[in-house]
Amino acid sequence: MAETTAFASVAHEPGAAKPDAILVADGVVRRFGGLTAVNVNHFEVQRNSITALIGPNGAGKSTFFNLLTGFDMAQEGEGVFNGKPLKGMPSAKVARAGMVRTFQLTKALSRMTVIENMRLGAQEQPGENILTAFVPPLWSARERQITEQAHELLHRFKLYEKKDDYAGSLSGGQRKLLEMARALMSKPTMVMLDEPMAGVNPALTESLLDHIVELKEEGMTVLFVEHDMHMVRRISDWVVVMAEGQIIAEGPAGTVMSNQAVQDAYLGAHHDTDLSEERDA
Amino acid sequence: MDILTNVLTTAIAPSTAAFALAAIGLNFHFGLTGLLNMGQAGFMLLGMYGFAISLSNGLPIWLALIIGLAAAAVFALLLGWPTLKLRGDYLAIVTIAAAEMVRFLGRSQSLKDLTGASSGIRGIDYKEPFETLSPFPDSIVTIGPISMHGSRSSSWWLTTVTWGLVILFSLIYWRLSKSPWGRVLKGVREDEDAVRSLGKNVYSYKMQALVIGGVIGAFGGIMWALGNSVQPDSMGRPTTFWLWTLLLLGGAATVFGPMLGSVLFWSALTLVKGVAGAVIPDTVLSPTELEPFSLVLVGVTLMLLVIFRPQGVLGNKKELAFNG
């Protein structure tokens, strides 16, 4: 398989260099007062792979995620995405550069219809400029393309029948699907999923997993934060483990789980409540 | 019969239209973008100061209009610059304070030569250029039960122009709210971070909405001043709250909501005042107490409305409720 060859020469150690990295982060430090939430020396994500970011609660996964996507600013360090420096880049620009994200707490735009949610995800709609907006002929052609693209995605994510419903009326799992579909409207090169399985009922998890694998088959790179080990094992090519803000291990799912440092990190951290994770987000 | 005539006169009065105009501006802020502008009266006041001061210093009317609207645009930029990066409540605090600052500045004795301090600017100092443009006769004109002057002050001429502007800006609202631009604003209203994650510059969109709504508010202020006079205290906090009331009454995020809300609100107030004046004897409620009494009644009605029909008369309950 492609992923095994791509990762064949990669060392199973924290901060390992990848043969074709789409995302590289160096010396990223984020402190909240006296607490160092994230302190990552070196991090690379292989292009066209599915990489999982795991770790016990409070490990700094979501904070690191926010730093990479421009939703939070690091005190130190820099990143490069697809050849573009990420330092100081606002979140909207990161998205336009081709790295889109979803959220742990789903952000469906409740009082807009499903199809309007989808259309909003598209880029290069000239009608989003206020002056052009007055003249429909300037944007209606693009609007038709966008709508067509949205219909295709809605069919694929089995939301087509819901397209005229308000997003607020969808179930939790459907909202996750909508958020993912909406992110795909921008035709991204990299998709960042923050706990895609949180709150999704078991019946939907299988189809969500399939959707994520499809993203890779279409040439996208996926980085996701997840707690669900079943999912991590099933779909990820590479697993990165964080604990106390640092990357403590890297490798394929099977190897990483038996790593002593990883087991210590998990067994040593007895945070059963989800609260610390929420605050972390 | 007099009461009904009064109600009808109020319904079409230029000041009713001026309030509708300012409420359309507020609809851009709140209905479309979710911005809590608690100082729309300040935008109105700035507009009328810019307009009236320019005219009383001999500038041509078109330039005075531009100055009045530009003042509101600059005000919006100044208010939005620090606050739009923060969460919504900050804008509410800053706008309510800033609107009061404009009013107090206008009232201050040190600016008496410019703003006329607390007595304001008399209509005679700035209304003439607008009134000379009137194609209507320079006398009282009666159409049906309603009598108004053709061209002076609160006239048929002013009525026509102001309602014309209400229709124009309603059309603009309709066009923009149904465009991809409006879609981004609605997205911002729902969840800023989600819109940011989809690659839109949220700050810039919020600023655009704030400026547009503020400028329309200033237009409302200018039209109001052409029917009355520039009086800082008539553009205090109550004015802002009335604007909110009539916007929510008509239905936020709808095209005709502000228009309908303004007509209903002012007509209802006149009706209640008229009926109460005719029915309640002077010994129970003196004429000076009638005004506050009718405001109380209207207030109670609005509370009932909020409780039982939170989306307003025209609003879509699914799309926009007060608590949404």
Taking contacts as CB-CB distances below 8 angstroms, the residues of chain B near A129 are 181
Q: What are phi and psi of A53, to 5 degrees?
A: -115, 110
The answer to whether residue B128 sits within a structural domain is: yes
Q: What is the average pLDDT across A61-90? A: 92
Nearest-CA distance from B172 to chain A in Å? 8
Q: Which residues of A touch B (CB under 8 A)?
A: 69, 71, 90-93, 95-96, 100-103, 107-112, 116, 119-121, 123, 125, 127-130, 132-134, 136, 139, 143, 166, 168, 179, 182-183, 185-186
In a domain, B167, yes or no: yes
Q: Does a structural domain hold residue B313?
A: no
**How far is B235 from chain A, CA to nearest CA, in Å?**
30
Average pLDDT over residues A235-257: 89
Residue B294 lies in a domain: no
> Residue A148's pLDDT is what?
96
Q: Report CA-CA distances (Å) from B20 to A146, B3, B24, B169, B245.
A: 36, 22, 6, 10, 11
For chain A, domain boundaries: 2-108+189-280, 109-169
Of the candidates B175, B180, B319, the beta carbon closest to that of A125 is on: B180
Which pair of structure tokens corresponds to residue A224?
């996701």
B123 or A264, greater pLDDT: B123
- Considering only alpha carbons, which residue of chain A is nearest residue B183? A120
Beta pairing class for A84-85 and A221-225: unpaired
pLDDT at A271 over 60: no
Q: In what order do the strands lie in the sheet with A190-194?
A: A99-101, A190-194, A221-225, A50-54, A238-243, A246-251
Contacts of B182 in chain A (CB under 8 A): 133
Task: Give the chain B residue whose CA is nearest to the CA of A69.
Answer: B197
Once rounded to an integer, what is the mean pLDDT over residues B202-217?
96
| CATH number of this structure's domain A2-108+189-280 | 3.40.50.300
Q: Does B81 fall in a domain?
A: yes
Residue of A nearest to B187 (CA): A109
Contacts with A, B 212-241, CB within 8 Å: 212
Structural domain boundaries, residue B176:
14-236
> Which amino acid is it at B211?
V
Determine the pLDDT at residue B321: 47
Low-confidence winner among A219-228, B301-310, B314-323 (lowest mean pLDDT): B314-323
Structure-block tokens of residue A240 = 């990165």
pLDDT of residue B150: 87
Q: Which residue of A has its CA nearest to B172?
A: A134
Q: How many CB atoms sit inside 10 A of residue B278's CB?
A: 9
Q: Residue B320's pLDDT is what?
A: 53
- Does the pLDDT value for residue B316 go beyond 80? no
Q: For residue B126, tell me if it sits in a domain.
A: yes
User: Is B201 inside a domain boundary?
Assistant: yes
Residue to substitute from B175, B181, B193, B198, interface A, most A β-carbons within 10 A: B198
In the prediction, which pLDDT does A4 show? 55
Please say if the pLDDT value at position A273 is more than 60: no
- Number of domains comprising chain B: 1
- Which residues in B lie closer than 8 A to residue A170 (C-beta atoms)? none
> Is B319 near chain A, with CB under 8 Å?
yes
SS (H, E, C) chain A: CHHHHHHHCCCCCCCCCCCCEEEEEEEEEEEECCEEEEEEEEEEEECCCEEEEECCCCCCHHHHHHHHCCCCCCCEEEEEECCEECCCCCHHHHHHCCEEECCCCCCCCCCCEHHHHHHHCCCCCHHHCHHHHCCHHHCHHHHHHHHHHHHHHHHHCCCHHHCCCEHHHCCHHHHHHHHHHHHHCCCCCEEEEECCCCCCCHHHHHHHHHHHHHHHHCCCEEEEECCCHHHHHHHCCEEEEEECCEEEEEECHHHHHCCHHHHHHHHHCCCCCCHHHHHHC
Q: What is the pLDDT of residues B162-174, one digit of tens each?
A: 999 999 999 999 9
Residue B125 domain-assigned?
A: yes
At residue B318 the predicted structure's pLDDT band, cuts being 50, 70 and 90, is low
ipTM confidence: 0.86
